[in-house]
Homo-oligomer: A and B are copies of this chain.
């Protein structure tokens, strides 16, 4: 058979940006975003994105430049998921809970050319910029003022968001990727060292994870999607673009509690939402009441505890459970539910649903492999191994970090660092995450990062931070410390916590501090973290009052 080659008719680069172009036609007059009293249609959102992209181009942003956003789940944040790539630039969303130092490290490492800053993050970003090394180039700043009287120019911002939109050209010919492997996003993980790693996803990878996630969760056309998951978390697990593909409605909330969620569900007829298990806990605490219609909720980050799961489902939520990492751009393992499991007793259903599951349809493979032999572990639900993934949703690599990229992507697999087992039915279950990651309220935090701050305390000899189970947050950081010999002024627990507060984002601060004469160590002198993990577990839930 002759070898036919791809031609432009069948090989236009795959990109999720095509979804909004299509939505602007198909769902032109259907609601794209609702936010308080404001409602936009898909044709309006598309035109606004074109205008923003054109202004970015006028400001000198060009193909391959990084443009950052520090904002919560507001309409601007959603629009920028399209508008920044439509200027040919790479979208870099930044967690609003980070402190100035970390934001400074990220913006500098990313060589960010321009940063959109929500007015609530104005001071932390200005401080972050002030921390840049003296002669290094600084990004320009645009203030998202949300209708407040604009103080943008006074504060050193080049413009405000409304002006960026209104000065733009709605007929702008958006900058299409030259190759589907061109970068689309840059997301920083808290990582395993104190330097965050910049995860790069291509247009192709993002397109694939977006449609894969829609299929895996069976999201229908015109779904009404409530943004409880931060868009700065792996771009809202790709549903930012996914909602456009299905012509759905994005219900945006600047911040939320249970009452705000229930009100949004009622007012907008919400059909879908995502969130860490902490969101499920929130929904089932206090004044929860049964839903009028079922709402699909997808959770990941940690398995939902059986009690929380059953309470959530009894209210009318349909809970799906999945797994993904920043490096996969969204959920790529999903506990695909089988109809016949509905007939099982509740406890058995909860046990099955706590498993992370199977690969999503567009992924090529998942496995649990023995770290020494590299072979698949037995499918016995017991033998531990490292979780590896392969397929189009896997990142291109880490920015300016060829070593870390080579370590993560090798032998045709992405090595997650997470430890799991494979059950006899082919469903995977995570048993232990990368040694040093703690997930608190859906935020990943690196125990190594916290430890490095603790080691900076003049009285501290040894420090180890592990996860302590928490009914509400899932986990909280728990620090074990020993003091240097001869230290006279030993700090109290409160003083250690205060010391940390001044030096790291609030969500990373240990909630419990335990002092020991010496930390348990192996014969070669390595701190035995698993012993400390057991100790933290034995303490039970930290019962910390909510933030």
Contact = CB atoms under 8 A, between A and B. Distances in A.
Interface of A: 1-2, 4-12, 14, 18-19, 22, 25-28, 30, 64, 66, 90, 111, 181, 183, 186, 200, 202, 205, 211-212, 214-215, 218, 220-222, 245-247, 336-340, 358-359, 361-362, 364-365, 389-397, 399-400, 405, 409-414, 425-426
A239 to B, nearest CB: 14
The listed residue with most B CB atoms (<10 A of its CB), out of A4, A389, A413, is A4
B412 A9 contact: yes
B10 A205 contact: yes
20 contacts: A1-B64, A1-B183, A1-B200, A2-B399, A4-B396, A6-B396, A10-B390, A10-B391, A10-B395, A10-B396, A10-B409, A10-B414, A19-B361, A22-B358, A25-B358, A26-B426, A27-B338, A28-B425, A30-B340, A245-B361
The 9 closest A-B pairs by CB, nearest first: A25-B426, A10-B394, A8-B412, A4-B396, A12-B364, A9-B409, A4-B397, A26-B358, A218-B220
A200 B5 CA distance: 11
- In terms of DSSP, what is the predominant structure of the interface of chain A? loop
Most chain B CB within 10 A, of A14, A28, A186, A247, is at: A14
A18 B26 CA distance: 31
A20 B395 CA distance: 25
Contacts of A247: 336
A9 B399 contact: no
Contacts of A393: 10
Contacts of A64: 1
A9 B181 contact: no
Given A205-B10, A362-B211, A392-B10, A400 B2 contact: yes
A414 B12 CA distance: 12
Nearest to A409: B9
B392 A4 contact: no
B392 A12 contact: yes
A128 to B, nearest CB: 20
Given A14-B392, A215-B211, A425-B28, A9 B414 contact: yes
Nearest to A405: B4
A423 to B, nearest CB: 11
A359 B1 contact: no
A330 B200 CA distance: 33
A28 B426 contact: yes
Contacts of A66: 1
A343 to B, nearest CB: 14
B390 A12 contact: yes
Contacts of A410: 9
Contacts of A5: 181, 396
A338 to B, nearest CB: 7
Given A18-B364, A25-B426, 18 more contacts: A1-B64, A2-B399, A4-B397, A5-B396, A7-B409, A8-B390, A10-B393, A10-B395, A10-B396, A10-B409, A11-B392, A12-B364, A27-B338, A211-B215, A214-B215, A221-B337, A245-B361, A246-B361
Nearest to A222: B339
A146 to B, nearest CB: 30
B1 A361 contact: no
Contacts of A245: 215, 361
B111 A1 contact: yes
A326 to B, nearest CB: 14
B183 A6 contact: no
Nearest to A66: B1
Contacts of A2: 399-400
A106 B186 CA distance: 50
Contacts of A10: 205, 390-396, 409, 414
A10 B205 CA distance: 8
B9 A390 contact: yes
Nearest to A6: B181
A338 B30 contact: yes
B222 A221 contact: no
A222 B8 CA distance: 36
Contacts of A396: 4-7, 10
A408 to B, nearest CB: 8
Contacts of A405: 4
B11 A336 contact: no
Contacts of A220: 218
Contacts of A14: 362, 392
A22 B392 contact: no
A22 B361 contact: yes
A245 B426 CA distance: 16
Nearest to A410: B9
Nearest to A26: B358
Nearest to A394: B10
Contacts of A202: 6
